[in-house]
């Protein structure tokens, strides 16, 4: 499961039936915020390495699983190894209480959980597409007072997840909803 290290997911990973794959964008974001705030060259260097990883990911988008796996095994794996080593060495150059130290430690604790990405050709280096899909729900939540009940919340979750999965797979959400609702209307419910 691609995730950002959200504490609520820890129990899922602890049970062992779901493998965590961290989203590289969250590591990037912490370092980017520091670099944007004060122009830190120490933060800039890992950002450049992360950008190189993203360029590799873009180059293999839409390729066959074998091609993706091959590229992940060598150039991407080496870049992640180099990034991790460089972050460790940078920790010795800065104050232990700085925001940059916090961002580097955040990155180091998550890089080991990015490694499953290298082994599975289906995985992306980030889960930005899924997060963009959930943004509408997060923004809407402020406008929707409630779903009426726990069952209503579950139904909304299923509906939203289905629509966003359809969008990611080039399915027109309105056509899909019309199809599903038409199918339901012609069935006898128990």
**Region 37-46: what's the mean pLDDT?**
92
- pLDDT of 107 reads 92
Residue 4: pLDDT band with limits 50, 70, 90: low
Residue 190: pLDDT band with limits 50, 70, 90: low
- pLDDT of 95 reads 87
Average pLDDT across the chain, whole number = 83
- pLDDT of 189 reads 67
- pLDDT of 140 reads 67
What is the 3 state secondary structure string of 100-136? HHHHHHHHHHHHCCCCHHHHCCCCCCCCHHHHHHHHH
In sequence order, what DSSP letters do the residues of the chain get, joined into one string? Answer: -EE---GGGHHHHHHSSS--EE-HHHHHHHHHHHHHHH--HHHHHHHHHHHHHHHHHHHHTT--HHHHHHHIIIIIHHHHHHHHHHHHHHHTTS-TTSHHHHHHHHHHHHHTTTTHHHH-TT--S--HHHHHHHHHHHHHHTT----SSHHHHHHHHHHHHHHHHHHHTT--HHHHHHHHHHHHHTS---
- pLDDT tens per residue across span 80-115: 999 999 999 999 989 888 999 999 999 998 888 888
17 vs 30, residue with greater confidence: 30
């Amino acid at each position: 499961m691609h995730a950002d290290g959200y504490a609520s997911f820890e129990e899922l990973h602890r049970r062992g039936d779901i493998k965590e794959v961290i989203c590289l964008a969250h590591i990037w974001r912490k370092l980017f915020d520091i670099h944007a705030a004060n122009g830190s060259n120490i933060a800039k260097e890992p950002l450049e390495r992360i950008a190189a990883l993203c360029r590799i990911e873009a180059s293999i988008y839409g390729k066959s699983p074998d091609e993706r796996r091959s590229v992940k095994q060598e150039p991407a794996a080496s870049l992640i190894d180099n990034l991790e080593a460089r972050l460790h060495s940078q920790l010795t150059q800065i104050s232990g209480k700085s925001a940059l130290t916090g961002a580097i430690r955040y990155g180091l604790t998550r890089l080991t959980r990015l490694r499953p990405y290298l082994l599975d050709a289906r995985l992306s280096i980030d889960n930005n597409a899924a997060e963009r899909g959930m943004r509408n729900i997060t923004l809407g939540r402020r406008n929707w007072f409630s779903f009426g009940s726990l069952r209503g919340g579950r139904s909304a979750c299923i509906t939203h997840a289905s629509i966003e999965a359809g969008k990611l797979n080039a399915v027109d959400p309105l056509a899909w909803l019309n199809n599903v609702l038409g199918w339901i209307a012609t069935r006898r419910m128990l």
